[in-house]
Chain A
């Protein structure tokens, strides 16, 4: 889990230092809308296909879901579906109900009747919102209030409310991390740092959605695909992360920024075990660095961390509330 906070990142950089950003492993697309609103050019990538599709539909395309396609889903689909063939049946009560699974099957198959791939992506991105809602309600032991089709329409509408044009383009990429980086000449290199940790499948939206997107109910396969795509970019408690590759991907950036969130451990642990490793690896190119820390929920030791590193000749704005052994104890 990362509480990605665009304005906090900008706060840690000099004004106008972030005209362009490169994020090789993007956070949730909606969290990047703040940068887009400010007209910052973004190169955002996700090596996982389902997540890259969400990035594209939310940030890059700007296309609306057509009336024609909206009407299409108010009719009986041409090829009737045999619900007994629903491959997601074994997800019943984990966490979806039988009727929700029928809808998920129907929405996946029916979307193939949309001829335009971009329109299909928009439809499927709305399904991601519905799945997330159902999973949250199931986790809380609550019953959904809205019928499935109404909920889907709400998610489609919500996406459209978030669409807007800006002068600078957003490049939403879907590439293996090894294949990108150096050629992207962004001023700021941003890494939202995730930590290794396994959630139960029925609460892991990334895995459930990716499995649905692939049309394969095997959640272990979906998880394996996600983990392989992100290998080296997720912080492991024992081995850390692939800092050498990260440094190589920073290209010609003037600043490198890492943002992460952590609970149940004191900030000093994060400073000594996470920030120190990153600082050491990045110091040849980014000798200056400042670690900022703030509490999200102090009673549960839940903190957010922002490590800003700068190449020579690029200042980092002072922050009198920055973490240091003197003011934190």
Chain B
């Protein structure tokens, strides 16, 4: 009996040591946690280009992360989500400001160009990061909608990775919280109602539930 207990203790100890070793190696390689301060700085330039008067991307990142935690997203997933949140609209920097700031309705060609921004953003980031990072894909799909009516690929349901579904909802929430030239900022109650109305249409019902379960901020 004592031998079995000793073996069990040894197995647990070996597993713990191995885990520590891998964890330490990842930290030494600097891949555990990127320095988000720099990325937040860049995200503010993107916010400015989009004419947001608040830190849109940083707030989006906070909303997205809160929802993701409630949905049980792991640490690695949270890091990707935070990166993608901060950089989600980087493709907008390549879109003409006349289009971004146009007050009226966009014509077909302008709307198509605007809908290129997730792809432009994905390409720029994909060419800069190591292969097999999922942040570029999350940037690509942050405008996809759960019912398949989004863009650029019109993915639907679980075809859209969970992090991109969260990103889409958080983007809408933060956009509604901000005042725009054509409307004031929406109240939290109104935002929750609007998000609830789009459950299963624009947004994943599970993500909507996780959002509504959280506090108002």
A interface, CB within 8 angstroms of B: 1-7, 11, 28, 30-31, 33-34, 37, 129, 132-133, 136-137, 140-142, 144-145, 154, 158, 162, 164, 261, 267, 293-299, 302-304, 320-321, 323, 327-328
Contact = CB atoms under 8 A, between A and B. Distances in A.
A246 B161 CA distance: 30
Given A142-B200, A321-B131, 18 more contacts: A1-B158, A31-B154, A34-B154, A132-B156, A133-B201, A136-B146, A136-B205, A140-B200, A140-B206, A140-B209, A145-B200, A294-B136, A294-B137, A298-B134, A299-B74, A299-B76, A299-B80, A321-B126
Contacts of A31: 153-155
A145 B132 contact: no
Contacts of A142: 199-200, 205, 208-209
Contacts of A164: 108
Interface in B95-137: 108, 112, 119, 123, 126-127, 131-134, 136-137
A57 B148 CA distance: 16
Contacts of B163: 297
B194 to A, nearest CB: 11
Contact of B154 (A28, A297, A328): A28
A11 B132 CA distance: 18
B147 interface: yes
- The binding surface of chain A is classed by DSSP as mixed
Given A7-B119, A140-B206, A30 B154 contact: yes
B148 A30 contact: yes
A298 B133 contact: yes
Contacts of A298: 76, 80, 132-134
A37 B112 contact: yes
Nearest to A38: B112
A296 B134 contact: yes
A328 B133 CA distance: 11
B60 interface: no
Contact of B147 (A37, A132, A140, A304): A132
Contacts of B197: 145
B68 to A, nearest CB: 11
B204 interface: yes
A85 B131 CA distance: 57
Interface centre among B134, B136, B196, B209 (most CB of A within 10 A): B134
A320 B131 CA distance: 10
Contact of A267 (B108, B132, B153): B132
Interface centre among A137, A145, A162 (most CB of B within 10 A): A145
Given A133-B147, A299-B77, A320 B127 contact: yes
B63 interface: no
A136 B154 contact: no
Nearest to B162: A297
Contact of B200 (A7, A133, A293): A133
